[in-house]
A = this chain, B = another copy of it.
């Protein structure tokens, strides 16, 4: 598809303002914006970044980790984008990344691009926007796209479904307690990083690493894992210890998956899933126009009054949709 969108060339040249505006465009639900966004996305070349999903509950030091890890990557000459998926931020009206001062150095780094979570969106909408934002960040020449999510369960599975590898960040735990990490999250994690492995917490962090390494060994080995993965490692966002090792492991895993064809297969399956999710959402969106809502409300009142059987009322809405 061709487009003469004025954002396209600045975006491909890596212009941060153009990228920012393009993401705002894909976040919009206005029909003309959607059309423009789809044309722009269709015109993007196939540039691929390493897509890393990152999850961690508040208190594990996620912002500090992203800042330290991101600075290490930009220090190696790599360009890094950070996107946030935070469905819970819709409640507070804020965003975990809205406060950029929590990543003060990284946000000023010319090789980094940080995008807060949209302030009002449902989980499904966040998923669409994030998938499209990842594509835009790749087209803008980023080498690594970090998709951050807060540990609230459902969002991890969504983010794992749009990234190449998934990292779970944890804090050192007391004793052998496994911090109530949900089994579903353990199952999507490729790498568990225990943060704050410094000072007084170094020994507890190492114990926590050993506990999780043990728990991971009990999980069934997945075909997309080379020997030794999933893995648990200690890191310190404060001292920087372990960050290089963590990055080496991520690259080793990503390289193996690329070479064995797992990454291509995973991305193809993710794109298919995204397509069917889009399709269902777009079809159901036909019930969300003001006219359709009025129609549903009117027939719903007759259904509630017992004057019309539900299945027949549903058929009448479909007939009405076909007639409009």
Q: Which residues of A contact B (CB under 8 A)?
A: 1, 34, 37-38, 41-42, 44, 46, 128, 131-132, 135, 267-269, 271-272, 274-276, 278-284, 286-287, 296, 299-300, 303-306, 308-315, 317-318, 321
Which of B128, B278, B314 is within 8 Å of A282, CB to CB?
Answer: B314
10 closest A-B pairs by beta carbon, nearest first, are A278-B314, A268-B304, A275-B310, A279-B314, A274-B310, A41-B309, A275-B303, A271-B303, A38-B312, A282-B314
Assess whether A282 is in contact with B38, with CB atoms less than 8 Å apart.
Answer: no
Please, which residues of chain B bring their CB within 8 A of the CB of A269?
304
The residues of B that contact A274 with a CB separation of less than 8 Å are: 303, 310
Asked whether A318 lies within 8 Å of B283 as measured between CB atoms, the reply is: yes
Interchain CA distance A128-B314 in the complex, whole Å: 12
CB nearest to A321 among chain B residues = B283
A317–B279 CB distance below 8 A: yes
Q: Which residue from chain B places its CB closest to the CB of A318 in the assembled complex? A: B282
**A94 CB to nearest chain B CB (Å):** 28
Closest CB in chain B relative to A3 CB, distance in Å: 11
User: What number of copies of this chain does the assembly contain?
Assistant: 2
CA distance A311 to B128 in the complex (A): 9
Q: Which residues of B contact A311 (CB under 8 A)?
A: 34, 37-38, 41, 128, 132, 278
Q: What are some 28 contacts across the A-B interface (CB < 8 A)? A: A38-B309, A38-B311, A41-B312, A42-B308, A132-B311, A135-B309, A267-B306, A268-B304, A268-B305, A271-B306, A271-B310, A272-B300, A272-B303, A272-B304, A274-B310, A275-B299, A275-B300, A275-B313, A276-B300, A278-B311, A278-B313, A278-B314, A279-B314, A280-B284, A282-B314, A283-B284, A283-B286, A283-B318
Q: How far is the CA of A138 from the CA of B1 in the complex (A)?
A: 58
> Complex Cα distance A283/B317, Å?
10
The distance in angstroms between the C-alpha atoms of A272 and B297, with both chains bound, is 9
Q: How far does the Cβ of A30 sit from chain B's closest Cβ, in whole Å?
A: 14
Complex Cα distance A319/B315, Å? 21
Q: Which residues of B contact A305 (CB under 8 A)?
A: 268
Of B37, B44, B280, B310, the residue contacting A287 (CB under 8 A) is B280
Minimal Cβ-Cβ distance residue in B for A283: B283
Give chain B nearest CB distance to A284 CB in angstroms: 6
